[in-house]
Chain A
Amino acid sequence: MQAGLRYGAPFAVGVALLAAWQAAVTALDVPVYLVPSPLTVLATLHRDWALLSRSLAFTLVVTLAALALAVLIGVATAFLFVQSRIVEASFFPYAVLLQVTPIVAIAPLIIIWVKDTRIALVLCAGIVALFPIVSNTTLGLRSVDPGLLELFRLYGAGRWQTLVRLRVPSALPYFFAGLRVSAGLALIGAVVAEFVAGTGGSVSGLAYQILLSGLQLNIPRLFAALFLIAATGIVLSLATALAARIALRRWHASEQEPQ
């Protein structure tokens, strides 16, 4: 697909939807405390930028820290898992357990246990983002061409050489697929945890702005915050896609243009 079409088409859809929204709100005379028009939201974004940008920075830091934590722990866990089937069999069910337990259910506990709210939020979001990294990287480290494995054995490669030169590169496409899912989950985890942490006072992320704006019926600001969360999600998704593209461009089928 041509680059122009790939980026132009979704952009055109977005503009059309916003225009339809603007037209509908104007034509039906919808009150601003129910559904503000896109232009009103834009004006609010501009007016409240000092407040909203601080919240955006807070949520972004929590999200990125959580993603970094998930990558660090997730990759380390995957390395442990591939060292022995017994280790994987023993611990994998608990990784699943962590995955299926709703974060809203354990967030209150974590927030009570951890004194610093910011660290508590990072932990919550990190737990949400962990599983795709663990499961994908483990699968990737195991998905090695058996022929190459024999070749390495034939040339007397050690465990370490096999890991670094063979298993890690083989795992990269899987890892990046997991990273993309995890980036979205980290943001969701950060927002959900902020909702649970609630009106602690010291917390001022985007979710807190939504909560507060809702209580104050400041619907344009609520929409503005919502817009910023969505925009953050899109940027994160694009950034991980770009990272995958840079790493896999030359060799992996997933990043190659059909001829």
Chain B
Amino acid sequence: MTAIALAAAEKVFANGVRALDPLTLRIDEGAFATVVGPSGCGKSTLLRLAAGLTAPSSGTVRLWPDASAGAARRLAFVFQSATLMAWADVEKNVRLPLDLEDAAMRDPAADARVRRALALVGLEDFRHAYPAELSGGMQMRVSIARALVTEPALLLMDEPFGALDEITRTRLDRELAELWARERLTVLFVTHSIFEAVFLSTRVIVMSPRPGRVVGDLAVDEPHPRTEAFRVSTRFAAYCERVSTLLASAMEDAGVTQ
């Protein structure tokens, strides 16, 4: 089944900047799709369109277009920075989506869901800590737990590990890949790291500089869960090479010298 369907969706901002050329794209349910592209190519705009945070200037964006009405599926968004409430502890931060969704009727299962989300990111022991007391990587994990607490079917992630150091990023990438396989999520992930894209994804979508167009779309047919062995394999290098070539030619066409 299709999870995300963009039909000639286009975004032009009020100030006249063209963020996204008309784009037609289908993402299958259960995919880990990653969008790679240079800064300002409209990858974030694509994600925000899918989340409904912004409306397309023309065209349509639909989630689960083939599903019967009433079968509402939840989506969650992870931002570039952890975006936590500094005044609330880890548990309250993770609980926020549940609190906002039904403030009137207290979900009796809420406590259990918060616990489960914290366990998924390995933060059970830190549930009473405040964001200021956590490292950048742990803050990001809180952010991911908050996204998972509603048990979403679709996870939209906007360069979530971009601000982290290489070592933490590698570890969180691996954890995310495991999580995706175990929870049977659909993920749309945005990054500017080719290595991260290839390591995580079942599908890599390459975008050109602004205004964004899809210049490449390749499947990464490798078994999950992926290990460190994959990261140093020749197949991994070959995938990276292909993505890199696609990006380079897109940059050249756009007249950007690297």
Question: Is B53 within 8 A of A256, CB to CB?
Answer: no
Q: Which residues of B contact A150 (CB under 8 A)?
A: 53, 77, 79
Known: A147-B79, A155-B101, A251-B132. A169 touches B53 (CB 8 A): no
Find the A residue at minimum CB distance from B92. A165
Q: Which residues of B contact A148 (CB under 8 A)?
A: 83, 85
Residues of B in contact, count (CB < 8 Å): 21
Find the A residue at minimum CB distance from B74. A155
Considering the complex, which residues of chain B in the window 88-118 have a beta carbon less than 8 Å from any beta carbon of chain A? 88-89, 96-97, 99-101, 103
Binding site for B on A (CB under 8 A): 145, 147-148, 150-157, 161, 165-166, 169-170, 172, 250-253, 256
B93 to chain A, nearest CB (A): 10
Q: How far is the CA of A153 from the CA of B97 in the complex (A)?
A: 11
Judged by DSSP, the binding face of A is helix
Question: Is B87 within 8 A of A154, CB to CB?
Answer: no
Question: Is A156 within 8 A of B53, CB to CB?
Answer: no
Question: Is B99 within 8 A of A165, CB to CB?
Answer: yes
Known: A165-B99, A251-B132. A154 touches B53 (CB 8 A): yes
Find the A residue at minimum CB distance from B133. A250
Q: CB < 8 Å: which of B88, B89, B100 contacts A155?
A: B100
Counting CB contacts under 8 A, is B86 at the interface? yes
Binding site for A on B (CB under 8 A): 51-53, 77, 79, 81, 83, 85-89, 96-97, 99-101, 103, 130-132
Q: How far is the CA of A153 from the CA of B83 in the complex (A)?
A: 14
Q: Which residues of A contact B83 (CB under 8 A)?
A: 145, 147-148, 151
Known: A151-B77, A154-B53, A166-B85. A250 touches B100 (CB 8 A): no
Q: How far is the CA of A156 from the CA of B75 in the complex (A)?
A: 12
Q: How far is the CA of A253 from the CA of B130 in the complex (A)?
A: 12
Question: Is B87 within 8 A of A172, CB to CB?
Answer: yes
B127 to chain A, nearest CB (A): 14
A139 to chain B, nearest CB (A): 17
Q: Which residues of B contact A145 (CB under 8 A)?
A: 83
Q: CB < 8 Å: which of A154, A166, A170, A250 contacts B51?
A: A154
Residue with the highest number of chain A CB atoms closer than 10 Å, among B52, B81, B100: B100
A161 to chain B, nearest CB (A): 6
CB pairs A–B below 8 angstroms (9 shown): A145-B83, A147-B81, A155-B101, A156-B100, A156-B101, A169-B88, A251-B130, A252-B87, A256-B132
Q: How far is the CA of A151 from the CA of B149 in the complex (A)?
A: 14
Q: Which residues of A contact B96 (CB under 8 A)?
A: 151, 155, 165
A43 to chain B, nearest CB (A): 50
